[in-house]
Amino acid sequence: MSGLTFVDVCSGGGGLALGLEQAGFEPRLLLDDDELAVTTLRTNRPRWDVLHTDLLDFDPAEYPVSYDVDLLSAGLPRVKSSATVRRADSCVEERLLEATVYLVHAIRPRAVLIENVPGLAHSSKYQHFRDFARAELAHLGYECNWFVVNAVDFGVPQNRKQGLLMAVDRRRAESFRAPAPTVRQPTTVGVALGRSMASRGWQDAARWAAQADQPAPTLVGGSKNRGGADLGPTGAKRKWATMGVNGHTVGDEIPGSDFVWAPERGRDNMVKITTEQAALLQGFPESWEIAGRKTARYRQVGHATPPPVGKALGRAVAVALHGDPTPPVAG
């Protein structure tokens, strides 16, 4: 499978773009309004054309390279509610959803992928956006597919559900199928991070990994207006505690040989997940470098689409557009 191209907006730390690259797509243009995310993308893929700009300010007429692509992809900031979409006081997240749909008018890709909260695909709260998107895209000759995927079904050691809109050119739409799981058994946190936890000589790494015998809860990146990094809301922190992990913070370094792991004594004696380990839990390769200080790095990780999910979505698009006969094999 080759010759597939895409434009990626709100690219963040690059999870979706990396997954699409792994599926055989070549980016024509990526854009994001966060300087550190742009640095991350340029550091890891110097040959990618990365634009530092807000989607709401982007004019594709100034970047003709964005025309005639196979896919427009968008891993957009999470919306809280769509009840105010298209009102003057709409949140920026909702405006970005609309802006992505309007961008389709200009660049006319053969397929469109928008990723967001699970409710985007089925909740009545987002019915207004679904109706808007369906009407706009149908007018342009696309058929819409709404579905939810869970990253854990694609080898990511994390329960992370994502709502997807996949719109495909009507002439090819019958060939599109939402990606099927690529693994039969979920990967656990202990399996994913066991080698990392032992890398500085921590003697209890294997015992910890045996207790961390389940996938992680959803990592949450938080907003720029929020305080320091942590591993999510109260329920997620409780889940982390059952694995002997302090979910109230993100660690600066992996435990050393003298670290005493005694979770029964409270969170001060639990391990802390580092930003680099969080990236592994998102399915990033170890080689992926993330720019910025700890909280900014963790925000990029927590907001990312896991690359294995991006790869599975890319393969599904490729099958619809080019009829690639080689589906992934569950293992």
The residues pairing with 169 across neighbouring beta strands, listed in sequence order, are 142
Q: Which two three-digit tokens encode residue 37?
A: 């995310």
For the chain, give the longest Cα–Cα distance: 64
Averaged pLDDT, 19-48: 98
Indicate the range of 2-6, 127-131, 191-195, 279-283 predicted with least confidence. Answer: 2-6
Alpha carbon separation from 89 to 83, 84, 115 (Å, rounded): 11, 7, 23
Averaged pLDDT, 159-181: 96
Residue type, 230: D
For the chain, domain boundaries: 4-182+304-322, 189-301
pLDDT, position 326 = 43
pLDDT band at 93 (very low <50, low <70, confident <90, very high): confident
Please indicate whether residue 94 or residue 169 has the higher confidence score (pLDDT). Answer: 169
Architecture of domain 4-182+304-322: 3-Layer(aba) Sandwich (3.40)
pLDDT, position 88 = 45
Q: Which two three-digit tokens encode residue 308?
A: 């294995």
Is 60 exceeded by the pLDDT of residue 9? Answer: yes
In three-state secondary structure terms, 207 is: helix
pLDDT, position 226 = 59
pLDDT, position 227 = 58
Averaged pLDDT, 262-289: 97
> Using CA atoms, how far apart are residues 163 and 121, in angstroms rounded to an integer?
5
pTM of the model: 0.92
pLDDT band at 1 (very low <50, low <70, confident <90, very high): very low
pLDDT band at 131 (very low <50, low <70, confident <90, very high): very high
> Using CA atoms, how far apart are residues 182 and 185, in angstroms rounded to an integer?
9
- What's the mean pLDDT when you consider all of the chain? 92
What is the pairing mode between strands 4-9 and 71-75? parallel
CB-CB contact of 33 with 55 (8 Å): yes
pLDDT, position 330 = 44
Q: In the chain, where do the E strands start and end?
A: 4-9, 25-32, 50-52, 71-75, 111-116, 142-150, 161-169
pLDDT band at 264 (very low <50, low <70, confident <90, very high): very high
Backbone angles phi, psi at 128, to 5 degrees: -60, -45
Is 70 exceeded by the pLDDT of residue 89? Answer: no
